[in-house]
Amino acid sequence: MKSSCSLSVPFLDQFVLHMILPVLLMLSILLAYVCSRCCLKANKEKFKRSNELKFQMLLLGVLFLYPGLATKIFSVFRCKDIDGIDGQVLVADFAIRCFEPTHNLYLIVAGAFLGLYIIGIPFIMFLMLWRNRKHLHAKEEDKEVTKEHLAVKARYGGLYLQYEPEYWVSMVVVVSFVPSSCRFLTCFFLFCLHVVV
């Protein structure tokens, strides 16, 4: 059934566009970084700050996009039985029948993006913090703050500074568990019910 709105985008096309957003974000930040690198060659301090700003913008952008990505990915798995219609339809778009060739293709794509974004983003955040864990917090016995600590704080401070030093991994747990666990468990349970029945 076609929509009467000429500007409406079908759900599966919306899904593809939404999955491209992080790539576009990364490319735009990389382009801005290259432009700033050309302009700031002479001033090392400003160049260093632009490098730190690149990481901050990328981190902020990914954290803004993450819940929407999780919602869109798990929506591809969410199907429903409707009285009077044979089989299941996609909850996000009743015009799409579930587990038919087109939907099966998008299930595979959604599974790949689930691994890449929903599991990959928190894992990469964890790796960044784990690799720099010695420099996350300045020790009280150190009179002088190290350059490595200042660089790590400028790049990744948004991930860990609001937590106590021993709980530096808390942000990764919050990012990965809260928005996606409920959706994943619900979709997985419904998918298992569909396969079993």
Q: How far apart are CA 197 and CA 192, in angstroms?
A: 8
| Tokens coding 84 | 């009077």
- Residue 184 or residue 132, greater confidence: 132
**Residue range 170-182, pLDDT digits in tens:** 777 776 665 555 5
pLDDT at residue 140 greater than cutoff 80: no
Query: What's the pLDDT at 6?
Result: 66
User: What is the C-alpha R_g of the chain?
Assistant: 22
Q: Which two tokens stand for residue 175?
A: 């990012």
pTM here is: 0.76
Q: Kindly report, residue by residue over 9-65, the tens digit of the pLDDT.
A: 899 999 999 999 999 999 998 898 888 878 877 777 877 787 788 888 888 888 889
**CA separation for the pair 33, 58 (Å, rounded):** 11
The b-or-e profile of 21-39 (16+ CB within 10 A means b, else e) is: ebeebeeebeeebeebeee
User: In this predicted structure, what is the pLDDT of residue 46?
Assistant: 79
Helices (H) and strands (E) in the chain, counts: 6, 3
Q: Which helix (H) or strand (E) holds 194?
A: helix 170-196
More confident residue, 19 or 143: 19
Q: Residue 33: helix, strand or coil by DSSP?
A: helix
Tell me the H-state helices in 78-146: 101-113, 120-131
Whether 194 contacts 79, CB under 8 Å: yes
Condensed to tens digits (0 to 9), the pLDDT of residues 81-110 reads 999 888 899 999 999 999 999 999 999 999
Asked if pLDDT for residue 78 goes beyond 50, the answer is yes
